[in-house]
Structure 1
Amino acid sequence: MTINVQAVNFDAKPGLEEYLEKKLSKLETLSDKIISAQVFFKIENTSEKNNKCIDIKLEVPGDDILVKKCGQSFEECIDLSVDTLKKLIIRKKEKVSER
């Protein structure tokens, strides 16, 4: 799986991409059909503490899986996104096996 990372309007701190790659690599154990991941880190211009957002688009044959999460830190957003992606991948596999 290739991972493309873009930080929108800021520089990502060192170690953030390694953390992301470690978490996303766990998804490959669930499905070997994941082609690539497009990841966008954004900081929203709000006064709220939950102003850090992440968009992850997994390219999978058939349907792409898109998840957007916001939180207080990018690590928290990555964890929330990966948990949601795991559930969506499992649900998609169950739908395919029912057919």
Structure 2
Amino acid sequence: MDINFEYDSVKASERLEIMAAEKLTKLQDKYDFIIRADVFFKKENTSSPNSGMICNMRLSIPGPRLFAEASHGSFEASIAESISDLERQLRKRKEKLKGKFS
């Protein structure tokens, strides 16, 4: 699986890339049909200290792409929520694929 990272108004961070890559690799171990992942980090000015650090993730898999976005006070929390959302979507997609080939 290829993982591409993009930053918008954020300095590139190897630590964030390693954290996101580890979580995405775990997803790929579970769902071997993932082809590619695009991870976007963006900082947004907000009035709340609990949001503004945005992590978007897009997975290329057979069929339509999956997408998740989360905004929290830290990129770590945003990564975790995005991964959780993607895992739920992958589980649903896998069930659909099983239904087609059963």
- Shared fold (TM-score, shorter chain, > 0.5): yes
Q: Which residue is equivalent to 2:11?
A: 11
**Contact residue 30 and residue 89 of structure 1 kept, 8 A:** no
How far the C-alpha of 1:9 sits from its partner, in A, is 1.5
* SS in structure 2 at match of 1:61: coil
Q: Which residue is equivalent to 2:34?
A: 34
Q: Which residue is equivalent to 2:92?
A: 91
**Contact residue 56 and residue 68 of structure 1 kept, 8 A:** yes
Q: Which residue is equivalent to 1:69?
A: 70
How far the C-alpha of 1:14 sits from its partner, in A, is 3.6
Distance 1:41 1:95 in 2: 30
How far the C-alpha of 1:67 sits from its partner, in A, is 0.5
**Contact residue 30 and residue 86 of structure 1 kept, 8 A:** no
**Contact residue 30 and residue 90 of structure 1 kept, 8 A:** no
- Give the TM-score normalised by structure 1: 0.93
Q: Which residue is equivalent to 2:54?
A: 53
Letter paired with 1:88: Q
Mean Cα deviation higher: 65-74 or 13-22: 13-22
Letter paired with 1:37: A
Structure 1: 5+ residue runs without aligned partners?
Answer: none
Q: Percent identity?
A: 34
- For these two proteins, the number of residue pairs brought into alignment is 99
Structure 2: 5+ residue runs without aligned partners?
Answer: none
* Per-residue deviation, residues 39-92 of structure 1 (Å, max 9, x unmatched): 110011212111111110000011100111111100101111111111110111
Distance 1:67 1:10 in 2: 19
Q: What is the root-mean-square deviation in Å for CA atoms of aligned residues?
A: 1.1
- Give the TM-score normalised by structure 2: 0.90
Mean Cα deviation higher: 9-18 or 32-41: 9-18
* SS in structure 2 at match of 1:58: strand
